[in-house]
Every structure is written in C-alpha cells, then in structure tokens.
A and B are shown apart, each in its own frame.
Chain A
Amino acid sequence: MFLALKEMARAKTRFGLLIAAIGMLVFLILFQQSLQNGLLTSFVGAIRNQSAPVLVYSVDGQRVIQGSVITPDLEQQVRADPDVGQAGRIGQGTFTTEVSSGERFDATVLGYESVDLGAPETLTSGRYPEAPGEAVGSEADADSGFGIGDMVTIQPGGYALTIVGLAQDVQLNAGPTLFTVYDDYVAAVRSVNPDALDPLPNVLAVAPAAGVTDAELVASVNAISADLDALTRADAADNTPGVSQVRQSFNVIFLLYGLVIPCVTGLFFLIITFQKSGSLTLLHAIGAPAGRLVSSLLIQAVLIISAGYLIGLAIYTPISQRRLGGIPLRFETNAVIFWAIMLMVLGIGSSLLSARRVLAIDPIEATTGGGNQ
C-alpha cells in the first residue's frame, strides 16, 4: 500500500489521466446502456408492458402488430382452443393527433377488449378508461399534451379521446401511445375513414386456461394453424423486427468498450512497469518479496478502476435522468453493478501481464543495472 500510494501521489498527472480516461469510458458504456434500453423500451414498451401473457399474430404480419391481421376464421379457431382461458382483440393504428395546444403528433392508438388482455399492466397515475372516449397515455409524452385531463383529437375526423391515466414505458414506435377500449379504437379508425368497414383485429391477446403455462399455450396455438404465430409477451417484444439488430449493434459497441478498457489499463501498467523496472529490481534486491511488488501493482489497478468508475458514474447519474430527443433515459442499476464487476475483473486481469513481468525480475540485475533496460 505504501509503495502504491506514494507512487500515485508523486505521479498525479499520469495516474489522473488514466483515471479520467477510464471515467470517460465508463460514462460512455453506462450512457449507451441507458440509451439502448431507452430506445428499445420506446419502440416495444407497449408490447412488453401490456397485460396479456401471450399475443397471437398472423404469420403474414411478420411480428409487427399493425402488419398482422387476424381473420374471423383464425380468431374462432384460437378462441376454441381448450388451452385458451381468455382471448381478446387488439387493434392498432397510427393516427395524426392534435393536442389542446394545437400541436400535431403522430400517435399510436391501441384498442383492447379487456384490461387484463392488452391494457398497460400498471398505471403510474389516474385510472383505466371506464367510459367511451377515454384513454391511458404514455407517461413519457405527458408534457407534450398527453397528460391526465388532456384531450387529444384524432385527425382528420375529430374523434376526441381524453387521457384519464398514465403508464410508464408503454410507447410503441417511439411516439405517443394511447390505450383505449376496442370500441374507441374502431371509432377512431372510422372517424378517419368513414367508408371503412369494421377493422379486423391485428392480434389476439390470450391468457392460458387454468393449469396451462404460457409456453404450453404458445405451442398449442401455433399448432392450430400455420397462419398463426403465438408469442409470449417477452418474446413478442424481443422479436419485433429491428429489436435484435439494435441490441446486436449495441452489444458490439459494449464488446469494443470491454476490450478498450483492459487494453488501456494493461498497456498503462505495462509501460510504467517497464519505466520503473530499475526501481522494482532495486526493491527486490534489497529484500522486497515479488508478491509485495505485485500486490502494489494490483492495488494501483483497483484504485484506478474504482476512481475511474466513480467519476464515470458521477457524470452518468444526472444525465441518466434526462431525455434524449423523445427517448427517456433511466439510471440502469443492474448495468452499473454488472459493469463495475466486469471492468474490475478486466482491469485486474489486464494488469496481470505487468505482474508477470514483475515476478520475472531477477535481483541480480540490480548489480548490473539491467533493471533499467
């Protein structure tokens, strides 16, 4: 500890720069982790956080709600499946909406037949719709004219919806999202296109019968017809087109960061180990056990990574409370813990290369000046 701390105290700039570099990388990792989760949540939060345990798409829909259409025949077959306990229609449309300020937004309207089959699972404030013309809005858009009590008008047509409740993380396609009862959804479609026939449901929200698991229900529904594509709620969110690609892209970025940090730390310690090899040889020659010299190196690695991590965390924490464009960011506790452990392991691992060099020091080099080479 003595040697480790004294050296750091006497080379503040050198160690400070490394700490700052690690801090910056930690910030970037955590920020991008929040960005990834925020991005995915704003794209598929409405699927992940709705109440139906299983969603049934038509195969042609390619796992996009709006692209899927459940024909009456398919709906009847699903409802007749003995493994299905409850089933309800879900319809989705994207409409131009006008808020009370006169501003217009493209918003998604999701209509459900039962609160247990397609409404937001929990509300952060307000209540579920009880009367025609009421809707639950996405909390992230509350300040844009989609707050409780606000009236939103579907354009053209002028069908009005009043927000009576808000739910967190229920956006679809990164825009304002409204959950209404199914009849309101149909009314919204008709207001835009009065000549349209009753729209067919896009997906069916189903819950398993007693004693049937979600996975069994999925298998059972998929066995009914090759035109049906049943997915659990989590799978439906994860298999939405684009989600895995976004996740994959971020994972590549995280992998690169995961490589950069140990490379930076490892190279730094390797360079300073070479630079101070004369001192290390001298210390070993006068009786310092090699283990003591290695522990000094590892103490420095732990202190540098810890300090860098705290700096990165200090920058990340206030930024994680903000919104980036329309994407709400959030402090990702699990990511903070995961990366703290991961970076500590990687940092210590990378400094083991220097430790190996320290262990290889021959004290005889002190008599020849070889430690300086």
Chain B
Amino acid sequence: MTNVRKVYRMGDTDVVALDHAELTVASDEIVALVGPSGSGKTTLCSIAGGILSATDGSVVVGDEEITGYSDKQLTRFRQNRVGFVFQSVNLVPFLTARENLLVVDELGRRQGRPARERADRLLDELGLADRAKNLPSQLSGGQKQRVAIGRALMNEPSLVLFDEPTSALDTKLGIQVMELIRSEMKSRGTAAIVVTHDERITEYCDRTVHIIDGVLAA
C-alpha cells in the first residue's frame, strides 16, 4: 500500500479517513493493525481487500495492482485473491458449515469435487469435521469464527483480512481463535492483517502497526 489516501465527502467538507498510508505486508506475515474506534483501521483493511477504492495512492496485493479497478473487477478480485473474517455477520444462516465454505466456490470458478474436498479438509483442520452439517445457529461463537476462517481460506487467498475476529468471544475462546489464525496463516504462508483495538491480540502477530486519525505509525 503506497501513499494511500481515502477522503469522504460529508456535506461541504472533506473528511480524511486515511492519510498517505504506507504499509507493506510480507507474503507470510501477520500484521496487527491497532487503533481506537474511528481511527481508520477498517477503512485501511477495506481498501486492502478491494471493498473500498482509495482516493489516491497505489494498492498491490500479491502481484495484482488493484488501484483504479472497477466495481466488477474489485468483486472478482475479492472472490479470488482475498479472504475476509468480519466482526459481525460472517456466516450465511441458511447454509451449513460446509456449505458456507462451498459458497465461495459457487460464487467463483466452480471447481466442484476439488472444492468439496478442500472444504472437508479445512473443516477437519479447524476441528469442525463433525459440525459440517450444522447450521450456524447450531454452532457456538468459537465454532462460528472457525467456520469463517475456513471460508476465508477456501479461495487460497494471497491476503486474509481479520476485522476484530475475537471481539465477540470471551478471553479463552479469543486466544484459541488467534492461535488457530496464526497456525493456519503460517502453515499456508498467507499474509494477514488483523484489525483490533485489543493489545493482547498483538502477541500472536509478527508485527504491530498503530493507526490514529487515519495516519499509520510503526
């Protein structure tokens, strides 16, 4: 991410949500992005994941320069190159745990059998093999987060973005989830940005980047 700015127009005034952000994440690095509410964490993550477009600057994920992408191109980019674990809604309630993973394949290239095998393997790795046919309403908070992690890994992404992944969990479950995130990212050599305002999470990350009022500080 080079010299990235995001400016929102609010009535007659411009609000700078991200100001000349410079951030490079290595291919197997886990970066904690820490900052208070409204500091620009989610904006930075959204730009890195192709959910938002930057006003200025350049964003490259893997070998793909996404600056200037159209909505359609950004949708395809999110489908193929990025994994997301959001803070609030993470699973589709009318799909089982396994189907929540398979939906990624359905929306994309539709590999069929290899995708089904991959979903089963991921659920097994995440300790959810016996919960594959359960609906989200039948899963605990920790299990739901693990399914969301599995879904984020289904498309073999270059980058996974975690937005407050432990905020809805108690301390013990939060630690378990962070340990899982770390082991999954490291075993795959996948880059990750973990957005948090909880300093305890940072010990599971390789590096911590602070953000205040849209400005990054190492």
Contact of A10 among B42, B82, B88, B94 (CB under 8 A): B94
A3-B103, A367-B45 given as contacts; is B89 within 8 A of A286 (CB)? no
B118 at the interface (CB under 8 A from A): no
Interchain CB contact under 8 A, B135 and A10: yes
Cβ contacts under 8 Å, B82 to chain A: 287
How many positions in chain B have a CB within 8 Å of any CB in the partner chain? 35
Interchain CB contact under 8 A, B89 and A287: no
A84 at the interface (CB under 8 A from B): no
Binding site of A, secondary structure by majority: helix, strand, loop or mixed?
Answer: helix
Interchain CB contact under 8 A, B84 and A285: yes
Contact of B89 among A7, A11, A281 (CB under 8 A): A281
Interchain CB contact under 8 A, A286 and B163: no
A371 at the interface (CB under 8 A from B): yes
Cβ contacts under 8 Å, A7 to chain B: 94
The CA of A287 and the CA of B103, in the complex, are separated in Å by 10
A156 at the interface (CB under 8 A from B): no
For residue B147, give the distance in angstroms from its CB to the closest CB of chain A.
12
Interface members, chain A 342-373 (any B CB < 8 Å): 363-364, 366-369, 371-372
B182 at the interface (CB under 8 A from A): no
Interchain CB contact under 8 A, B107 and A292: yes
The CA of A364 and the CA of B71, in the complex, are separated in Å by 12
Interface members, chain B 117-161 (any A CB < 8 Å): 135, 151, 155
A2 at the interface (CB under 8 A from B): yes
> Closest B-chain residue to A281, C-beta based?
B89
Interchain CB contact under 8 A, B75 and A11: no
A3-B103, A10-B135 given as contacts; is B93 within 8 A of A288 (CB)? no
> Closest A-chain residue to B84, C-beta based?
A286
A123 at the interface (CB under 8 A from B): no
Cβ contacts under 8 Å, B93 to chain A: 276, 279
| Interface residues as binary, B84-120 with A (CB distance below 8 Å gives 1, 0 otherwise) | 1011111111110001001110111000000000000
B200 at the interface (CB under 8 A from A): no
The CA of A340 and the CA of B46, in the complex, are separated in Å by 46
Interchain CB contact under 8 A, A372 and B89: yes
Interchain CB contact under 8 A, B92 and A366: no
The CA of A288 and the CA of B108, in the complex, are separated in Å by 8
For residue B17, give the distance in angstroms from its CB to the closest CB of chain A.
11
Cβ contacts under 8 Å, A285 to chain B: 51, 78, 84, 86
Interchain CB contact under 8 A, A368 and B89: no
> Closest B-chain residue to A286, C-beta based?
B84
Contact of A287 among B76, B88, B163 (CB under 8 A): B76
Cβ contacts under 8 Å, A369 to chain B: 87-89
The CA of A271 and the CA of B52, in the complex, are separated in Å by 28
A289 at the interface (CB under 8 A from B): yes
Contact of B95 among A6, A289, A292 (CB under 8 A): A6
Interchain CB contact under 8 A, A286 and B46: no
B27 at the interface (CB under 8 A from A): no
Contact of B79 among A278, A288, A372 (CB under 8 A): A288
Interchain CB contact under 8 A, A367 and B87: yes
Interchain CB contact under 8 A, A286 and B94: no
Interface members, chain B 161-176 (any A CB < 8 Å): 163
> Closest A-chain residue to B49, C-beta based?
A285
Interface members, chain B 66-80 (any A CB < 8 Å): 72, 75-80
Interchain CB contact under 8 A, A286 and B78: yes
A282 at the interface (CB under 8 A from B): yes
For residue B77, give the distance in angstroms from its CB to the closest CB of chain A.
8
For residue B69, give the distance in angstroms from its CB to the closest CB of chain A.
13
Interchain CB contact under 8 A, B92 and A289: no
Cβ contacts under 8 Å, B108 to chain A: 287
Cβ contacts under 8 Å, B46 to chain A: 364, 367
For residue A8, give the distance in angstroms from its CB to the closest CB of chain B.
9
Interchain CB contact under 8 A, B75 and A289: yes
Other 18 A-B pairs with CB < 8 A, given A286-B104, A288-B79: A2-B102, A2-B106, A3-B92, A10-B94, A10-B135, A282-B86, A282-B89, A283-B103, A283-B107, A285-B84, A286-B78, A287-B75, A287-B76, A363-B75, A364-B52, A366-B89, A367-B86, A369-B88
26 pairs, A vs B, C-beta closer than 8 Å: A2-B103, A3-B92, A10-B135, A11-B94, A276-B93, A278-B88, A279-B89, A282-B90, A283-B92, A285-B51, A285-B78, A285-B86, A286-B79, A286-B84, A287-B77, A287-B82, A287-B104, A288-B79, A288-B107, A289-B75, A289-B76, A290-B75, A364-B46, A364-B51, A367-B51, A372-B88
The list of the 9 closest CB pairs from A to B, nearest first, reads A287-B79, A369-B88, A287-B78, A10-B94, A278-B89, A288-B107, A279-B92, A2-B106, A7-B94
